[in-house]
Amino acid sequence: MRYLYLSLLFFSICYQARAQTIVLDSTTLVADTLITGLNVPWEILWGPDDHIWMTERDGKVSRVDPLTGVREVIADLRDDNGGPVLQISESGLLGMALHPNFPDSSYVFLVYTYRPASTILERMVRYEYDGDTLLNPVTYIENIPGNTTHNGSRLVIGPDGKLYMTTGDAQNQPSAQNLNINNGKVLRFNLDGSVPGDNPIAGSYVWSWGHRNHQGLQFGPTGILYSSEHGPNSDDELNIILKGRNHGWPTVNGYCNLPAETTFCADSNVVEPLANWTPTIAPADLIYYSHPSIPEWQGTLLMTVLKNKQLIRFDLNSTGDSVITQTIFLNNLKGRLRDICAAPDGTIYIATNGANASNTDPNTHTIIRLRNPFYVEPLIVDAGPDQSVCAGSSTQLVPTITGGATPLTYSWTPWADLSCSVCDSPQVVSLNTPTEFILTVTDTQGTSVSDTVLVNVVAQPGVPSYVITVLDSSGTDVPVEIEINAPAADSVSVLLYGTGVGPISFNSNVQQFTINDTLPVTIVEGNDITTNILYYNICIYSYSSCGSNMLCDTQSIVLSELTGIFEVAKPIFTLYPNPSSDIVTLSGIQQADKIVVMNVLGAVVREVNKPVLQGQDFSLNLSSLEPGIYFIGVERDGVLGVQKLIKE
């Protein structure tokens, strides 16, 4: 079921009119309330649909429009609404994560507490989002002991594609050290809910242990997993979570600085925190902020704080494993700060939880928005990818321009007359020679950025040609070299076939050639040479991205045993009709001893041993032949002239 809280939109618009400014070191932020009337917003995430995804601890999951504050409830899991979520004190609907391939894999992971009988338990469930609601729940883990407090639980998907979940000790402190109990742990899952094979304990979800109640979990740019954790009356912590390591609770609070702690730390390989706080501050969520729109926060870890009602910035060293400085912002300005997320444009959203932890007035909590209204995205110009176009054909230049202080102006070179205010749209060009185009974009602050795109022109291949040279005809093996010329071609294929005349024949030869390459061919003598005439069929195919061309020819080579020089003499005639279906006529024959019909492999399929006198026409009946390409040969004095015929 979908719920649209339209009244909240009106309230949100009115409330946003009371926006205030917050001055950092050198940046002035505008802070306003995006939405109010919430019941402990516990998790807020920036979704791939450019909406804020939110859980409320009482059991609702919503999408919030970050521009208008309009809220759409996509799941109501409240116990008093028939759902599974039990909310008492700090229990209820807690962490949420979206599948990294969302929306193609439209899975939503949720953690909540429930009570099947008299005992509070915790489970993590995967739902599917159908564009309207969450459905088809699949339980990944359940029956984790829960309580009204100390349940955790934050979810995050790491750069390794694994799902991480925090659990609290549920007020049973020894369980944090018991590796057979899932309380007080960081758990690690495959995205299908199975146990990863590289977890530190075979068959167990446990990744780290010795935790009290950690409610912040975030990966940094160097792959470090950070966690914020609530201490008892002292020693709240900022931790680095390490595989298979102990974080000390309940024996160790904060650093290993007491006698009993130092012994336990040495024996149990305890990880000490990056930072800790006494008295406690109640740390909540973490994000790593990388956007330049708020330079004071760029490249730092930000942590929301509940009890002390502030935002803490951590400046880290280059490897991310040490805190250099801590700086407090928003101190007591917006109440208890529960959760935080950042939009791709650098805007920050923070979920607030009122003035105190009792939550006596739950439906007044808010999401506030912090942004730098004076920030201008850097002007980035991409004139488009280099491309090729066939000569005389048109193509489009499709630029991409982002950022800059609008309105922008554009100019293209070498188009001197094309300087306009809408030239960011595709530009059509038709070229015969390669051309480099330059796009220059200027914003209202005077910043100009240029980029180039090269359009190469590809010609259609010309008709290929060839030259055959007999390298040596004095032996029994006759080497022949064929030189191919295929202008403007990217590739060439050559098919060479012998005609099988006399004892000399070619083997079939099919190869790929580069342009102007040569093909060495050896004619193998089968018996004594009884003729010095060699017949062949050759087809050359030249290709480019703009088309192809072909030459098919049949020739005779007269071999001289002494010189190795060949002579070519072809009787001249014409064929008509061509293509032909049945009868073809040979016209213009000077004189012929016989007429042959060969297929494309050079094999003779028809032979007429009948002299033809000069000036006579001769008709052939081809009705018995299959459709295809043939070669008609006219032989005179041992020399064969050939024309190609298409049989329909």
List pLDDT tens digits, range 571-601: 678 888 988 888 999 888 877 788 888 876 6
Task: Kindly write down the DSSP assignment for every residue of 97-124, as one continuous string.
Answer: EE-TTTTTT-EEEEEEEE-SSSS-EEEE
Question: What band does 534 get if pLDDT is binned at 50, 70 and 90?
Answer: low
Task: Give the list of residues 6+ apart from residue 279 with CB closer than 8 angstroms, or none.
Answer: 233, 234
380-458: CATH number: 2.60.40.10
Residues 6 or more apart whose Cβ sits within 8 Å of residue 7: none
* Cβ–Cβ under 8 Å, residues 337 and 366: no
Question: Which tokens hold the place of 510?
Answer: 């099919």
Distance of CA 618 to the CA centre of its chain: 67
- State the DSSP code for 191: T
Distance CA 42, CA 351 (A): 7
Mean pLDDT along residues 175-179: 97
H-run or E-run covering 363: none
Determine if the pTM surpasses 0.85.
no
- Write phi, then psi, for 457 (nearest 5 degrees): -110, 125
Q: Show the 3-state SS of 273-297.
A: CCEEECCCCCEEEEEEECCCCCCCC
CB 443 within 8 A of CB 451: no
pLDDT, residue 18, reads 64
Q: Which of 153, 172, 173 has the alpha carbon at shortest distance from 93? A: 153
Share of the chain above pLDDT 90, in %: 55
Q: How many Cα atoms within 13 Å fall on the side-chain side of residue 21?
A: 9
The single residue listed with the structure tokens 């880290």 is 316
Q: Distances in Å between the alpha carbon of 554 and those of 223, 326, 502, 529, 635?
A: 69, 87, 17, 21, 12
Strand partners, 485: 465
Q: What is the distance between the terminal CA atoms of the chain, rounded to a whole angstrom?
A: 68
- For residue 402, pLDDT over 70 is answered with yes
Q: CB of 418 within 8 A of CB of 411? A: yes
pLDDT at residue 497 is higher than 60: no
Task: Judge contact between 213 and 169, C-beta under 8 A.
Answer: yes
Dihedral (C-alpha) 631, 635, 640, 641: value to the nearest 10 degrees?
Answer: -60
Q: What is the DSSP letter of 85?
A: B
Q: What pLDDT was estimated at residue 533?
A: 54
Lowest average pLDDT, out of 52-66, 229-243, 542-556, goes to: 542-556
Give, for 148, the enclosing helix (H) or strand (E): none
More confident residue, 448 or 80: 448
**pLDDT at site 483:** 74
Strand-pair category, 477-485 with 518-525: antiparallel
Task: Check: CB of residue 7 under 8 Å from CB of residue 15.
Answer: no
Q: Quick one: which of 190, 192, 189 has its CA closest to 205?
A: 189
Any idea what DSSP says for residue 39? Answer: S
CA 97 from chain centre, in angstroms, equals: 21
Q: Domain boundaries in the chain?
A: 3-371, 380-458, 460-568, 570-648
Give 376's contacts (C-beta < 8 A, 6+ positions apart). 403, 404, 405, 443, 445
Enter the tokens of residue 509.
Answer: 């030869």
> Are residues 88 and 149 in contact, defined by beta-carbon separation less than 8 angstroms?
no
d(CA 244, CA 556): 82
Task: Find tokens 């309207």 and name the residue.
Answer: 132
The whole-angstrom separation of Cα 513 and Cα 247 is 67
Instruction: Tell me if 3-371 shares its fold with 460-568.
Output: no
Q: What is the pLDDT of residue 14?
A: 40
State mean pLDDT over 176-203.
97
pLDDT at residue 255, rounded to an integer: 95
Q: What pLDDT band is residue 369 in, cutting at 50, 70 and 90? A: very high
Give the pLDDT of residue 12: 39
Count CB atoms within 10 A of the CB of residue 329. 17
225 near 240, Cβ under 8 Å? Answer: yes
Between 630 and 89, the higher pLDDT residue: 89
Rounded CA separation 204/195 (Å): 6
The pLDDT of residue 9 is: 38
Range from 19-28, 536-545, 559-568, 610-619 carrying the lowest mean pLDDT: 559-568
pLDDT of residue 6: 34
The answer on pLDDT for 21 being more than 80 is yes
Distance of CA 512 to the CA centre of its chain: 35
**Is the distance from CB of 482 to CB of 521 less than 8 angstroms?**
yes
Could you tell me the pLDDT band of residue 126, with boundaries at 50, 70 and 90?
A: very high
Higher pLDDT, 193 or 431: 193
The dihedral sign for the CA sequence 266, 267, 269, 270:
negative
Residue 163 contacts by C-beta under 8 Å, 6 or more apart in sequence?
97, 109, 155, 156, 157, 188, 189, 190, 191
Q: What are phi and psi of 265, to 5 degrees?
A: -60, -40
Find the mean pLDDT for residues 609-614. 78
**pLDDT of residue 422 exceeding 60:** no
pLDDT tens readout for residues 224-247: 999 999 999 999 999 999 999 999
Chain centroid, CA 448 distance in Å: 30
Q: Strand 245-246 relative to strand 206-209: parallel, antiparallel, unpaired?
A: parallel
pLDDT at 95: 97
Report the pLDDT value the prediction gives residue 502, as an integer from 0 to 100: 31
Q: Would you give the distance in Å from CA 15 to the centre of its chain?
A: 40
Q: What is the homologous superfamily of the domain 3-371 according to CATH?
A: TolB, C-terminal domain (2.120.10.30)
In the sheet that holds 574-576, the strands lie side by side as 574-576, 583-587, 618-621
Q: What is the mean pLDDT of the chain?
A: 84
571 or 349, which is more confident? 349
Cβ proximity of 222 and 256 under 8 Å? no
Q: What is the DSSP letter of 7?
A: H
Strand 365-371 vs strand 163-166: parallel, antiparallel, or unpaired? unpaired
User: Average pLDDT of 544-567?
Assistant: 60
Positive/negative CA dihedral, 573, 574, 580, 582: negative
The residue with greater pLDDT, 389 or 514, is 389
What are the two backbone dihedrals, phi and then psi, of residue 64, each rounded to the nearest 5 degrees?
A: -120, 130
**Contact in structure between 408 and 401 (CB atoms under 8 Å):** yes
Tell the residue number behind the tokens 């088809």, with chain if given. Answer: 136
CB 367 within 8 Å of CB 34: yes
What is the distance between the alpha carbons of residues 43 and 8, in angstroms, rounded to a whole number?
19
Q: What is the mean pLDDT of residues 641-648?
A: 81
Beta bridge partners of 177: none
Average pLDDT for 504-533: 43
Give residue 561's pLDDT band: very low, low, confident or very high (50, 70, 90): very low
**Per CATH, which fold does 570-648 belong to?**
Immunoglobulin-like (2.60.40)
Query: 460-568, superfamily in CATH?
Result: Immunoglobulins (2.60.40.10)
d(CA 242, CA 91): 27
pLDDT of 526 reads 34
